[in-house]
Amino acid sequence: MQAIYPLLILDIGNTDTTFAWHDGLQWVSQWRIPSLDDGFLAETFFQQLKKNGKEPDQLKTILISSVVPQLTPLWKEILSNNASAFLHTVGPSLYSKLPIGIPSPEEIGTDLVANALAAFLRFKQACIIVDFGTALTFTALDEGGNILGVAIAPGLKTAMYALFQKAAQLPEVPLEVPESALGRNTTHALQAGILLGYEGLVKGLLGKIKAEMTAPVQVIATGGLSAVITSLYTEFDEIDRNLTLEGLRLMAEAVGSV
């Protein structure tokens, strides 16, 4: 297997696209841009590369993970035209190289597979990964690394935006946990309903998932909003916002550059 580093990961999500550059020892640069289908993508990407002191011709491997199918070919074209690195796209054809069991590989999100891979290789036991992204997802693996199933709910911001769109008189509010479950004003009322409501959602679903599993589990939280609800910290054995990226890096190592 040839060396794969420097490695560029593109994690195309429903809201943002994350770029991360790994030099073989550590993540040295990370940045995000909105996941939009417009003509400024390439320009923004190369501006950020230059800002971080990087050039496309330095790369040996590029790995694209996407849950937005219409953006995948666009980014493949941009990168293929501007870098000579080996370019891989995460999907079912890659999964056979991974040391985890993946049911319904055509249906499961690539981000969830990355989370499962990173968690299982770190703990080598049954795991539940709670990902606080555009969607709030719970992915369960058994002690052999087989994905048992997934639960999906709207993410915190998704739920909040949906409420604002449907209720014209409700303002947008910061994602901050209020001191009381009974709001004394509209802002605190919304924070109580959404943030404390999600506290109950996460605890309740974790309890039900654990009850269906036969082995002790490690619970890992990830995603940009994984640290917002501080009262949930005791539910998690670890919080790692880079878990998805680390799983994608491990996929790149598994597939190699040949």
User: Which domains does the chain show, CATH number per domain?
Assistant: 7-89 (3.30.420.40), 101-243 (3.30.420.40)
* Mean of all residue pLDDT scores within the chain: 92
Quick one: pLDDT at residue 258? Answer: 44
CA 119 to chain centre: 13
Residue listed under structure tokens 């770190």:
122
pLDDT 10s digits, 217-226:
999 999 989 9
Mean pLDDT along residues 190-200? 94
111 is catalytic: yes
Is it the case that residue 119 has pLDDT exceeding 80? Answer: yes
pLDDT tops 80 at residue 168: no
Measured at the CA of 218, the angle between CA 216 and CA 221, to 5 degrees, comes to 150
The 3-state secondary structure of the chain, one letter per residue: CCCCCCEEEEEECCCEEEEEEECCCCEEEEEEEECCCCCCHHHHHHHHHHHCCCCHHHCCEEEEEECCHHHHHHHHHHHHHHCCCEEEECCHHHHCCCCCECCCCCCCCHHHHHHHHHHHHHHCCCEEEEEECCEEEEEEECCCCEEEEEEEEECHHHHHHHHHHHCCCCCCCCCCCCCCCCCCCHHHHHHHHHHHHHHHHHHHHHHHHHHHCCCCCEEEEECCCCCCCHHHHHHCCEECCCHHHHHHHHHHHHHCCC
CA angle 152, 90, 219 (to 5 degrees): 40
Q: Which tokens belong to 201?
A: 């959602």
Q: Per-residue pLDDT averaged across 127-153, rounded?
A: 97
Taking Cα atoms as reference points, which of 76, 204, 190, 183 lies closest to residue 136?
A: 204
Backbone angles phi, psi at 28, to 5 degrees: -105, -20
| pLDDT at 184 exceeding the cut of 50 | yes
Q: Provide the whole-model pTM.
A: 0.93
Catalytic residue among 11, 16, 57, 111: 111
Sign of the Cα torsion 150, 156, 157, 163 reads: positive
Give me the pLDDT at residue 2, please.
56
Mean pLDDT of 186-204: 94
63, 79 Cβ separation under 8 angstroms:
no
